Amino acid sequence: MNRNDLGPMAVDRRDFLKFTGGGIAVFVTLKDHDLFKEALEQQRGYPSDFNAYLRIGEDGRVTVLSGKIEMGQGVETSLAQEAAEELRVPLGSIDMVMGDTDVCVWDAGTWGSLTTRVFGPALRRAAAEAHSVLLDLAAERLHVPRARLKAENGVVTVVGGQGRVTYGELAKGQKIQRTVRGKVEPRDVKDFTVMGTSPKRFDRIDKVTGKAKYAGDIRVPGMLRARLLRPPAHGATLKSVDTKAAEAVPGVVVVNQDGLVAVLHEDRDTADRALGMIRANWDTPQSTVDDTNIWSHFLQVAPTGRTAHEAGSLDAGARASTKVFEHTYYDGYVAHAPMEPHTSLAHAEGDHITVWSSTQSPFGDQRRIAGTLRIDESKVRVITPYVGGGFGGKSAGQQALEAARLSWITKKPVQVMWTREEEFFYDTFHAAALMKVRSGIDAAGKVQLWDYNVYMAGTRGSEVLYDVPNVSVVSHSSRDAHFFATGPWRAPGANDNTLARECQMDIMAAAAGMDPLEFRLKNATDPRLRSVLEAVAKLSDWKAGAAPTGRGYGIACGLDAESYVAHVAKVAVDKASGEVKVEGMWCAQEMGIVVNPEGATMQMEGCITQGLGYPLMEHIRFRGGDILDKNFNTYRIPRFSDLPEIHTVLVKNDGLAPKGGGEPAIVCIGAVIANAIFDACGSRVFTMPFTPEEVLAGISKPTGA
């Protein structure tokens, strides 16, 4: 049994009580709940003991403790809304404690748009149970049957009678710990007073005044800033190192132990300077694989593949098709490039260590640090202040390990704040990928065949979505295919699979002489998919016509984190230069019950704006393990001048529990821009990022029609 299976069983419950002092603590477990079976399976290692935890203090304030972290997505506020709703307390009486391994419930990590759809229900049930406990206590205190009581704004009153008692009064002198099985149903959407509204974010004042603390803003007396010696390329080995000159700098501490070479000083400038004095010789392997030929390398090393989706038979599909289309789509490596570089401050004291970390996985950091230092996990506390952007890239925790090792060795508090060059070098990039599609339509414009092979992107977003009777989706993935680290990047792989599907649909629509929206609707019966397509058409005032119309409008749709999205893009293509300017983006998203509409909208806008990068400008240039793009001077990300007008709409579906919102609206951006480019100028582009050269080549030799 591994640590994941144990979950928080390893945490002594008394630790929680010690922390809570007086008051009421409610733990909720959901493992017997059918409702959560699928969600819990998705979240490998989700605790089987308890899944949410909150406490009501003697002052009536409610503390919600969550292993999730806040990296800009706004869950600090939206989770508090969910707790306030079920507890019947004002939102302002909720205190959020997030990502602190000493006091929060174990959590694998903040990714996959799982916070709202998996942790949210657990939290709501914990709060609903707490509400129930409080009513029991009030009934006892007020000597009235529970059925006559009503709680509102943190106060229990007798309906049509005398008597009132506050939550704080009920919690006073109590030391109640309840572990419940989540049998109390959360409130119905029609009764919502806090969920479904858009209160101001909790972090707003701290973030506009500079008070918000990130890992790099934590100060411990005597702390040293560390710089580490880095190889010139991935795969390079250190032959020799000379640290003498650095050692001579007053106040500099040099560490050279088991491959870890670092200089530390109380100010960063001096550490920077000392690092520059280290002389190192490296053996660097040479490679001919680079960002221009990586895809043929993939085809050489790719494993046979694993079938992800299957239906009917490909032969039958080919026979039923009057037209068959074969295309290959390509994507390069993309950086996460959060504005905050990976940063940790580690403070070793005696036999234990505290690490403040910019991480999406505090419990992952804790496990890795304990393993590396060979100490018990209970001796490692990871605290997560605000995280300055993650997008999947702050899951590996390398900088936390580095800080922890250096602090353990030097017995001093040590801050490791990566330079931007380190950030690019050690990024767990979005993997380059290619997608091969063979598809066919019959004379009526119905898709009959979908034969799909994806290399390195994985299967997320590879659902066919449309009603296709003959399907084969095969994924070929191997981590060994890469020369450096790759990992999850906002909706991992879904950008690529959606690109291939939605461009291929457009190609088929054009060949059938049909409007691309009409073609999609003709092949889709999924009501949620249809609802977002229809909503985005309305929002953008979609004008039907077979592409290319010359107007520059494209459409695409997708599914991610159980939410449906559809986009329309308007582009202008300079037919002389091939330059593409995105002028407008429209997006409709259906995500079940919306906890915080404004927060969800901000995520959609963020996905759209960030999402302009991967299809239009972002890719990492490299040769073997040598990363050639090292900073923002050559790696261009979307900026103000790239900003199109953005319009969004949330499609109402209150019949469905809340679904994910952090990632869905980014998955279509590549496809919708490609389709808009085709509509503008008749050029089909297949390789992200789409270059003016590729656009121009397509204009002179139209493809896809």
Partner 1 sequence: MRATIHFRLNGRDTTLETDGNRRLLWVLRSDLGLTGPKFGCGITQCGACTVLVNGNPVRSCQYPASDIEGTEVTTIEGLAKGDELHPLQEEFADRGAFQCGYCTSGMILEAYSLLQRNPHPTRSQIVSGMNRNLCRCGAHKRIVEAIEAAAARL
Residues near partner 1, by CB under 8 A: 71-74, 200-201, 203-210, 212-214, 216-217, 219, 225, 266-269, 337-341, 386-389, 391, 417, 419-421, 598-599, 602, 605-611, 631-633, 637-641, 643, 646
Find, among 32, 108, 39, 110, the residue nearest to 76 by Cα: 110
Q: Is 14 exposed, middle or buried (0-12, 13-18, 19+ CB in 10 A)?
A: exposed
**Closer residue to partner 1 (CB): 488 or 638:** 638
Cα 446 to the center of its chain, rounded Å: 35
CA distances from 62 to 28, 57, 179 (A): 16, 6, 17
Cα separations in angstroms, 50 against 35, 93, 215, 601 = 16, 24, 28, 32
Distances (CA, A) of 26 to 79, 95, 301, 605: 16, 15, 52, 36
To partner 1, the closest distance from the beta carbon of 271 in angstroms equals 10
With beta carbons less than 8 A apart as the criterion, state whether 687 and 700 touch. no
The DSSP annotation for 539-603 comes to HTT----PSP-SS-EEEEEEEETTEEEEEEEEEEE-TTT--EEEEEEEEEEE-SS-S-HHHHHHH
Residue 304 in tokens: 């046979």
29 or 358: whose CB is closer to partner 1? 358
| Least CB distance to partner 1 at residue 360 (A) | 12
CB of 636 to partner 1, least distance (A): 10
CB 625 within 8 A of CB 291: no
Smallest distance, partner 1 to C-beta of residue 662, A: 10
**Minimum CB–partner distance for residue 206 and partner 1 (Å):** 8
Q: Is the peptide bond before 47 cis (omega within 30 degrees of 0)?
A: no
DSSP-assigned letter for residue 190: G
CB of 629 to partner 1, least distance (A): 12
CB of 385 to partner 1, least distance (A): 11
Neighbouring residues of 446: CB distance < 8 A, sequence distance ≥ 6: 467, 522, 523
Q: Residue 643 Cβ, how far from partner 1 at the closest point, in Å?
A: 5
Q: CB within 8 A of 354, min separation 6: which ones?
A: 346, 347, 381, 382, 383
Residue 647: strand pairing partners: 586
**Least distance from partner 1 to the Cβ atom of residue 139, Å:** 42
* Cα angle: 564, vertex 569, 575; to 5 degrees: 150
Cβ closer to partner 1: 421 or 574?
421
> Could you tell me which residues come within 8 angstroms of residue 700 by beta carbon, excluding any fewer than 6 positions away?
none
| 333: its two tokens | 């490596």
> For the chain, how big is the Rg over CA atoms in Å?
27
In angstroms, what is the minimal distance from the CB of 100 to partner 1?
A: 19
> Are the beta carbons of 465 and 529 closer than 8 angstroms?
yes
Of the pair 73, 398, the CB lying nearest partner 1 is at 73
Give the nearer residue to partner 1 in terms of CB position, either 69 or 294: 69
For partner 1, the closer CB: 386 or 483: 386
Query: Shortest CA distance to 642 belongs to which of 617, 676, 674?
Result: 617
Q: Which is nearer to partner 1, 388 or 440 (CB)?
A: 388
Measured from the CB atom, the residue of 31 and 636 that comes closer to partner 1 is 636
Q: Please answer whether residues 195 and 595 qualify as being in contact, where contact means their C-beta atoms are separated by less than 8 angstroms.
A: yes
Distances (CA, A) of 498 to 83, 526, 650: 35, 17, 20
Backbone torsion region of residue 266, taken as left when φ is above 0, otherwise alpha when ψ lies between -120 and 50, otherwise beta: alpha
Check if the beta carbon of residue 330 is closer than 8 Å to that of residue 434: yes
The smaller minimum CB distance to partner 1, of residues 67 and 341, is found at 341
Nearer to partner 1, 639 or 701 (CB): 639
